[in-house]
Amino acid sequence: MLKPIKIKEDFYYVGVNDRTKALFENLWPLPKGVSYNSYVILDEKTALFDTVDICYSDIFFQKLDSALNGRSLDYLIINHMEPDHSGSIGLLKNRFPNIQIIGNKRTADMVKGFYNIDKDVTIIEDGSELLLGKHNLKFYLTPMVHWPETMMTYETTNKILFSGDAFGTFGTLDGGIIDAQLHPERYYDEMVRYYSNIVGKFGSPVQKALEKLSQLDLKYICSTHGPVWTLDDQIKKIVSIYNKLSKYEGDEGVVIAYGSMYGHTEQMAEVIAYELAQQGIKEIILHNVSKRSHSYIIRDIFKYKGLIVGSPTYNNKLYPEIEALLSKIENRDMKNRYFGYFGSFTWAGAAVKRLAEFADGSKFEIIGTPVEMKQAMTEDNYQACLALGKSMADRLKQDR
């Protein structure tokens, strides 16, 4: 039988690792897998915090049964209802028919809708508390981080925050569960990628949640994905990452995302990048949208202030992968970026016009003069690309 992992007295990890799934939400690559985290507290009453994807319910129940060691389970605390965390609720209710399910009103609606369970469901309000014995739980509603029912649970005795998906990362837990047992910096970029891909649209609700939680003394942050954060410097680090990302603040640097069929648009991107470097910009990331998953491009757009997009004309429209990327950017309600654009065509130009339409509808500051190239590179095109790169560099340097 698989065993739970003890984090602290009466407090156990019963989560699982998924090294099989290729795409999170059938969209975002998982080259390093992902964990589905669940936790249990043993007191006069026993409480489980979220479940796991139903595909891993057998492993999950082995760990849970071992942790309970013959005891019954009194409470299931639901912080988030996405099926990768709620998928085992139906099976859990069958094993523990008298369990009390704790959640807010929206949670209760989803428990009924997903699993046809409406008995033994206790609806809590923001600030409600639940005493397990020596462990006391306090509930904080944090809607739209990143579903409408999301909430967090604070255990006041040991100062543990069960944060749902907030502060989560892609990547499995390979032996170590808590940050002190591993190299936490390897998860930082995956936290940014997780946030930008999954939570990115909801900056304002995240800010409200951070404000609500700002007065809490946090000794543990237990997300439903990734490590358990316990070190003071690491807790400060991940909270600062969320604070910065949810304000749409970026570092000095430029993402150049381009599509290119035969290399001409790519040549424009390289000239722009060359001039950025000549002007002293060191963080320059070129993404060929046909070879790089949008997941990583979006991550980098969240990291850096400058964004330059280039596209050839394709069927009198944007290159399809560029069009798809711009749609994802729009869906995340991105702000506080400096935006430039360029394009190419052979006989009828449309890409630059359509990039201009995107720019006009965005919340970005438009930088420089767009460059449009017909067929192959000319001296005029070359100089125009240099000018676009310089304009972006000059704007970034104003913030120094």
What is the distance between the alpha carbons of residues 224 and 39, in angstroms, rounded to a whole number? Answer: 9
Q: Quote the strand ranges of 241-396, DSSP E.
A: 251-258, 284-288, 304-314, 317-318, 335-345, 363-366, 371-374
pLDDT in tens, 169-199: 999 999 999 999 999 999 999 999 999 999 9
Decide: helix, strand or coil at residue 139.
strand
Residue 11: exposure state from Cβ atoms within 10 A (0-12, 13-18, ≥19): buried
Q: Which residues contact 357 (CB under 8 A, 6 or more apart)?
A: none
Residue 303: exposure state from Cβ atoms within 10 A (0-12, 13-18, ≥19): buried
The reply to whether 261 falls in a domain is yes
* 0.85 exceeded by pTM: yes
Distances (CA, A) of 375 to 145, 318, 343: 46, 16, 10
Residue 11 pLDDT greater than 90, yes or no: yes
Q: Quote the strand ranges of 115-210, DSSP E.
A: 121-123, 129-131, 136-141, 151-155, 160-164
Residue 161 pLDDT greater than 90, yes or no: yes
Question: How high is the pLDDT of residue 225?
Answer: 98
Question: How high is the pLDDT of residue 1?
Answer: 80
Same domain, yes or no, for 149 and 270?
Answer: no
Longest dimension (CA), the chain: 78
Pairing status of strand 23-24 against strand 28-29 = antiparallel
Same domain, yes or no, for 157 and 291?
Answer: no
Question: How high is the pLDDT of residue 26?
Answer: 96
Give rounded-to-5 percent helix, strand, coil for the chain.
Answer: 35, 25, 35
Structure token digits, residue 175: 């032996």
pLDDT band at 103 (very low <50, low <70, confident <90, very high): very high
- Nearest by Cα to 243 from 199, 298, 180, 185: 199
Q: Residue for token digits 């040991």?
A: 158
pLDDT in tens, 24-65: 999 999 999 999 999 999 999 999 999 999 999 999 999 999
Distances (CA, A) of 127 to 103, 133, 214, 215, 248: 12, 18, 14, 13, 29
- Nearest by Cα to 312 from 285, 339, 293, 289: 289
Residue 384: exposure state from Cβ atoms within 10 A (0-12, 13-18, ≥19): buried
Q: How many domains is the chain partitioned into structurally?
A: 2
The reply to whether 266 falls in a domain is yes
- Nearest by Cα to 255 from 345, 166, 192, 201: 192
State mean pLDDT over 62-91.
Answer: 97
pLDDT in tens, 240-249: 999 999 999 9
Chosen domain end from 188, 219, 246: 246
The amino acid at residue 111 is V
DSSP 99: P
Contact in structure between 322 and 297 (CB atoms under 8 Å): no
Same domain, yes or no, for 241 and 320?
Answer: no
Same domain, yes or no, for 280 and 199?
Answer: no
Share above pLDDT 90 across residues of the chain, in percent, rounded to a whole number: 99
Chosen domain end from 223, 246, 269: 246
pLDDT band at 13 (very low <50, low <70, confident <90, very high): very high
State mean pLDDT over 67-90.
Answer: 97
Same domain, yes or no, for 114 and 41?
Answer: yes
Residue 255 pLDDT greater than 90, yes or no: yes
What is the distance between the alpha carbons of residues 71 and 74, in angstroms, rounded to a whole number? Answer: 9
The reply to whether 158 falls in a domain is yes
The reply to whether 400 falls in a domain is no
Same domain, yes or no, for 164 and 191?
Answer: yes
What is the distance between the alpha carbons of residues 195 and 159, in angstroms, rounded to a whole number? Answer: 24
- Nearest by Cα to 192 from 82, 81, 303, 297: 303
The reply to whether 228 falls in a domain is yes
Same domain, yes or no, for 292 and 234?
Answer: no
Chosen domain end from 246, 263, 278: 246
Same domain, yes or no, for 213 and 308?
Answer: no
Domain of residue 211: give its range: 5-246
What is the distance between the alpha carbons of residues 251 and 240, in angstroms, rounded to a whole number? Answer: 14
The reply to whether 145 falls in a domain is yes
The reply to whether 291 falls in a domain is yes
- Residue 6 dihedral angles phi and psi, to the nearest 5°: -75, 125
CATH number for the domain harbouring residue 382: 3.40.50.360
Same domain, yes or no, for 71 and 197?
Answer: yes
CATH number for the domain harbouring residue 198: 3.60.15.10
Same domain, yes or no, for 75 and 210?
Answer: yes
Same domain, yes or no, for 290 and 220?
Answer: no
Same domain, yes or no, for 154 and 267?
Answer: no
The reply to whether 118 falls in a domain is yes
